[in-house]
Amino acid sequence: MDKEKLNRRQYLALNWESTIHFLGNFLAPAMELERDFIRPPGAGEELEFLTSCTRCSKCQEICPEQSIRLFALSDGAKLVNTPYMNLNESPCTFCMKCVEVCPTEALNLSDYQKCPYLGTVKVEKYSCLAYKQVMCDYCVRACPVNGAIRLEDGVPVVSKELCTGCGICITNCIAEGGALKVLQKEHS
């Protein structure tokens, strides 16, 4: 029987992946499922994602917008080297390259199709120029989803049903310090 020999790097990678899966399944009942961060498209349920993600960083490396970041050890052992979105600094264009490159399908199209959004934009009224009686509609014009942000009585209103949380409006906001922020949406 001719078995394929593994080099040291392949052996360590295989064992790291197995260890992550084991720990994810073993520690699953004790894991806190609440999160205040946003995962990349197709991440699905947090516990399932944590047990599937091998922390390979391929999603971060391929992201053309550089909106995917990795958690550090200081963020907690269960999150270390897992991806999150930094949409308040870099938007997501939903190119889905992160999903395509994921070797374990921790990011996958079926989860994305069940939940095709990342979050919802919130308008910070104290920073928004329109709330200060300045004519401004940069966020409305920048939004790629028709009707997700509209002006009502001269101020921006975000549709929670239409907003994908991509963050494109944020990068186009001209208010000092920005007047928009992406908040996590609840998965159903």
Domains and CATH numbers, the chain: 8-114 (3.30.70), 119-184 (3.30.70.20)
Residue-wise pLDDT tens digits, 129-177: 999 999 999 999 999 999 999 999 999 999 999 999 999 999 999 999 9
State the pLDDT at residue 20: 66
More confident residue, 38 or 13: 38
State the pLDDT at residue 120: 93
State the pLDDT at residue 149: 97
169-185 as b/e, with b when 16 or more CB fall inside 10 Å? bbbebebeebbbbbbeb
Does residue 187 register a pLDDT over 90? no
Residue-wise pLDDT tens digits, 91-134: 999 999 999 999 999 999 887 787 788 999 999 999 999 999 99
Q: DSSP character for 151?
A: E
Residue-wise pLDDT tens digits, 31-78: 444 557 899 999 988 899 999 999 999 999 999 999 999 999 988 888
State the pLDDT at residue 31: 47
Does residue 3 register a pLDDT over 60? no
State the pLDDT at residue 10: 72
| Tally: H helices and E strands in the chain | 7, 6
Does residue 30 register a pLDDT over 60? no
State the pLDDT at residue 188: 46
Instruction: Name residues whose C-beta falls within 8 Å of residue 121's C-beta, 6 or more positions apart in sequence.
Output: 139, 148, 149, 158, 163, 165, 167, 169, 170, 180, 181, 182, 183
Question: Both tokens of residue 24?
Answer: 């994810």
